Every structure is written in structure tokens, then in C-alpha cells.
Amino acid sequence: MSKDAVYLSRDGAVATIHLNRPDKRNALNAEMWTQLIACVEAAENDRAVKVVIVTGQGGVFAAGQDIEELGKGLEDRAWLDGAAELIYQSQKRLHLCAKPTIAKVRGACVGGGNGIALCCDLRFADPSAKFGITPAKLGVIYPALDTKRLVDAVGPSRAKDILFTGRIVSAEEALDYGMIDWLVAPEALDKAVADYAAQICEASQYAARGMKRVVQQIVDGLSEETKETRAVFTGSFLAEDFKEGRAAFLGKRKPKFTFS
């Protein structure tokens, strides 16, 4: 049975979203953006899932937007606005996924593909990975929130370097810039991501998801403790996961967290 252009699989507590249009180097079209939303929601709503991995099939993460599809609507401003809204909503849904997300990158990770990777919490890659945001080569201005995620990852000067030139960035340079978090040998990438996901799965999901929200608040401009943020901290001591974590610590055993 053929699989969708974006589909979800699950192995235990780890769900994987596959970008699956390898004959087009996983170039992103409207169908894929729509299916990405559905896959994120399915993973988030599955109580058994603790971590979500996003990866591409065929040795490529995603080679950017489908220019052929884009060309069909270039004279239609309403179509362009609709396409931009779909991409925005799809990336936002991934970015705001309540569960920890990991991008596993091989090959080209360009344009919209880079945008998807930056929407994930963490990024692993092997040396075949190539990163680029190339609107400057097409005379296009990159969307504001996509640009913000890039700036958040690499800083304003390096973001300008990448955006002004549209050049392709190697995996090694991407690691130095902060576009990726780990660079792993090709034969070790799958295991490295699986092992890291397992570490997250062993930890308290109540804590992981709560801290993900706190980090996002800081990225969005939080600079002072508030009544609400203090309540999140103190309230965690009353939750079941802390009771189990404390009991396990005192009993010198591994905790068995129940939050899902």
C-alpha cells in the first residue's frame, strides 16, 4: 500500500513524521503542508507518544517549496495569500506541538525544509546535510516568523549572512552557527536520535512539556518572573510526577512517571 506524501509511524513512545515525496526530493506542496498538520495533531493526541521525530525519505530532508506548484498561482494574489497561510499554520502547528520534537536531517534541508527543521525543538544531522534559505536567489522576501526562528537559532548577523546570500551551508558550518545541535556520522545518525529520544521518554513528560512552554515564553520575550510563571514552578511540586520522582530518588530506583 502506498503511503501519503507525509505520513506518521510509531515505535513505542516515539512517533516519526516522514516527508515522503522522494522522487521530488520531498519538495513541499499544499498536500504535504496539510498532511503535516494532521500528522502533528495525531502524534500530539496519541497519549502513548512522548517524542516526535521529523525526517525525510530518500536521503533528503526537503529540498524546499514545490516551485512547479507555486508557479501555477503566481498571478493570483488570493491564491498566494492562501498558500502562505497554509504554510504558516502548518509550521506553527509543528512549532507549538506540546511534545518534544526532533528533526533528523540527511541531504538537502532547504527553504521550507529548513523552516520545518527550525520548528523542531532539536536538530540532528549527518555530514550529507546541506542547509539553505534561498529566497534572495528568487527575488522573494522570507516570511517574518520563519526569519524569527532563524534569528533565534543563529543570531541576527548570521541570519543576515544566510538570507542575503542564499548560499548553501554545510553540516559542519550549520553546527557552528547553531542551526543544528548534533552532527553525527551517517551510520550512527539513526541510533543517536533513537537513543536521545529514549532519554526524553524516560524523563517526566509533565516536566518536559512544561519546560518546553517556559522556554517558548522566554524566546517570545519573557524576562521577569510573573505570578503565573511562579505558580507553574511551585505547582509542579504538587503534581504526581514529583511525588514519584522524589520517592524514586529516596528509594534509589528509577522513577516510573505516569503523566501522558
**Cell numbers representing residue 84 in the block:** 502562505
Residue 1 has what pLDDT?
A: 41
Residue 2 has what pLDDT?
A: 59
The neighbour count for residue 232, using CB atoms within 10 Å, is 14
Question: Which amino acid belongs to residue 184?
Answer: V
Q: What are phi and psi of 123, to 5 degrees?
A: -135, 125
Whole-angstrom Cα distance, residue 108 to residue 63? 5
Residue 61 has what pLDDT?
A: 98
* Contact by Cβ (8 Å): 56, 113: yes
- Any bridge partners for residue 170, and if so which? 130
Residue where the block lists cell 522513577: 255
Question: Shortest CA distance to 191 belongs to which of 26, 7, 14?
Answer: 14
Residue 27 has what pLDDT?
A: 95
For the chain, domains (ranges, CATH) are 6-200 (3.90.226.10), 204-250 (1.10.12.10)
Q: 151: burial class by Cβ within 10 Å (0-12, 13-18, 19+)?
A: middle
**Cell numbers representing residue 87 in the block:** 504554510
Q: Is 131 helix (H, G, I), strand (E, B) or coil?
A: strand
* Contact by Cβ (8 Å): 193, 102: yes
Q: 231: burial class by Cβ within 10 Å (0-12, 13-18, 19+)?
A: exposed
Residue 77 has what pLDDT?
A: 87
Whole-angstrom Cα distance, residue 62 to residue 129? 10
- The model's pLDDT over 5-48, given as tens digits with 9 standing for 90+, comes to 999 999 999 999 999 999 999 999 999 999 999 999 999 999 99
Angle at which helices 77-95 and 30-45 pack, to 10 degrees? 30
End-to-end CA distance of the chain: 32
- Any bridge partners for residue 132, and if so which? 110
What is the pTM (predicted TM-score) of this model? Answer: 0.95
Full pLDDT tens readout for the chain, 260 residues? 458 999 999 999 999 999 999 999 999 999 999 999 999 999 999 999 999 999 999 999 999 988 788 777 677 889 889 999 999 999 999 999 999 999 999 999 999 999 999 999 999 999 999 999 999 998 999 999 999 999 999 999 999 999 999 999 999 999 999 999 999 999 999 999 999 999 999 999 999 999 999 999 999 999 999 999 999 999 999 999 999 999 999 999 999 999 99
What Å distances lie between residue 258 and 13, 115, 215, 241, CA to CA? 13, 33, 23, 7
Cα-only R_g, the chain: 19
